[in-house]
Amino acid sequence: MDISIVIPLYNEDESLRELHDWIVRVMQQHGYSYEIIFVDDGSKDNSWQVISALGASNPNAKGIRFRRNYGKSAALQEGFTASSGQVVITMDADLQDSPDEIPGLYKMIVDEQNDLVSGWKQKRYDPISKTIPTKFFNWATRKMSGINTLHDFNCGLKAYRKEVVKSIEVYGEMHRYIPVIAKWAGFRKIKEKVVEHRARKYGITKFGLERFINGFLDLLSITFVSRFGKRPMHLFGMLGTIMFFIGFLVAGYLGMSKLYAVYQNYPARLITDRPSFYIALTTMVLGTQLFLAGFLGEMIARNSPDRNRYQIDSKMHL
């Protein structure tokens, strides 16, 4: 099969049939073999009834229904698991992503041998309260991830080589960082394509401003897990050692200065009367706690069933 199209959705019954017909039209025009996987994330409207009707009329249309709302990441993960196409394309169900972009995305994966192609909605039809935080979010993600080729990490319109979606795991609200997850899984051929952003035709957006706060926290989380998940001691142990050493040096200086003053019969304050002593003591305590946190994290990582699970691209003569 050429293409699997994964569409996560929540309360989008008004747009589903129009989106389905548009996708089918594009697939038939280009002669692609395809499947459309609708993932209903616990919708409370008639979305599942519409999906069921589409599946009855089109054998290439499939559906997955969650019992309750789990979030976009869970919907994408289930869609990735169920997909069988050589190229997997994700898009939103609100008609703001154009199916006419599918052939271009497909060619960038197949002809140019990219691992992942992310859409860039260069011209957006969103209020300024959404566009400005989005630009800051994308700038921060570029700086922390090192993926400087992407301008829009959170664009729902993306294309993946099959091996990518079968090798990564998306959970929580990590769908915003799929390019980052793919890069740290060893897939580095990541490109961008300018795509059309269409004004919302039906319904209202399902995301509020809290997504930017959650997104930043998720970025910190995924950065830590990706870089130090298998070696937490390298982070906590290093920070703990540095803090303890600084505190020890300050405490040592205070002690030596006190001894010198006593030896020279100079008037000197008690060490415990000096604020710097408590700062040094606190620094040593925090350093010790960080070191122990790294040690405990290392023990947990050593006993994890995934400690020796790595992404292998190919093997020869084994």
**Residues 301-315: tens digit of each pLDDT:** 666 666 545 455 544
Position 141 confidence tier, pLDDT thresholds 50, 70, 90? confident
Same domain, 125 and 254: no
Q: Mapping DSSP to helix (H, G, I), strand (E, B) and coil, where does residue 192 land?
A: strand
Question: Does the pLDDT value for residue 228 go beyond 80?
Answer: no
Same domain, 67 and 214: yes
Alpha-carbon distance values, 66 to 12, 216, 242 (Å): 14, 27, 48
The Cα–Cα gap between 179 and 170 comes to 11
162 within a domain of the structure (yes/no): yes
Question: Does the pLDDT value for residue 38 go beyond 70?
Answer: yes
154 within a domain of the structure (yes/no): yes
Position 318 confidence tier, pLDDT thresholds 50, 70, 90? low
Same domain, 221 and 249: no
Question: Does the pLDDT value for residue 229 go beyond 70?
Answer: no
**Residues 66-113: tens digit of each pLDDT:** 999 998 999 999 999 999 999 999 999 989 899 999 999 999 999 999
316 within a domain of the structure (yes/no): no
Choice among 36-40, 123-127, 238-242, 308-312 with the minimum mean pLDDT = 308-312
| Amino acid 146: pLDDT | 81
**Residues 6-28: tens digit of each pLDDT:** 999 999 999 999 999 999 999 99
Same domain, 13 and 91: yes
**Residues 176-209: tens digit of each pLDDT:** 889 988 988 889 899 999 998 877 777 666 555 5
| Amino acid 29: pLDDT | 96
Highest mean pLDDT among 205-209, 230-234, 294-298: 294-298
Same domain, 287 and 208: no
310 within a domain of the structure (yes/no): no
Number of separate domains in the chain: 2
What's the number of CA atoms in the CB half-sphere (13 Å) around residue 230?
A: 8
How is residue 187 written in tokens? 């897939």
36 within a domain of the structure (yes/no): yes
Same domain, 95 and 156: yes
Same domain, 93 and 215: yes
The predicted model scores a pTM of 0.73
61 within a domain of the structure (yes/no): yes
Question: Which residues lie below 8 Å from residue 283, measured CB to CB, with a gap of 6+?
Answer: 243, 244, 246, 247, 250
Q: Which of 228, 256, 278 is the last residue of a domain?
A: 228
Same domain, 259 and 218: no
Look at 66 and 128; give whichever has higher pLDDT: 66
Same domain, 241 and 224: no
313 within a domain of the structure (yes/no): no
Question: Does the pLDDT value for residue 316 go beyond 70?
Answer: no
| Amino acid 36: pLDDT | 97
Same domain, 99 and 168: yes
Same domain, 145 and 267: no
| Amino acid 241: pLDDT | 92
Per-residue pLDDT, averaged over 62-66, amounts to 95
Q: Residue 110: what residue type? A: V
The Cα–Cα gap between 37 and 64 comes to 7
Range of the domain at 185: 3-228
Task: Strands of 162-254 (E only): list them.
Answer: 190-194
Same domain, 239 and 281: yes
| Amino acid 215: pLDDT | 67
Q: What's 197's domain CATH number?
A: 3.90.550.10
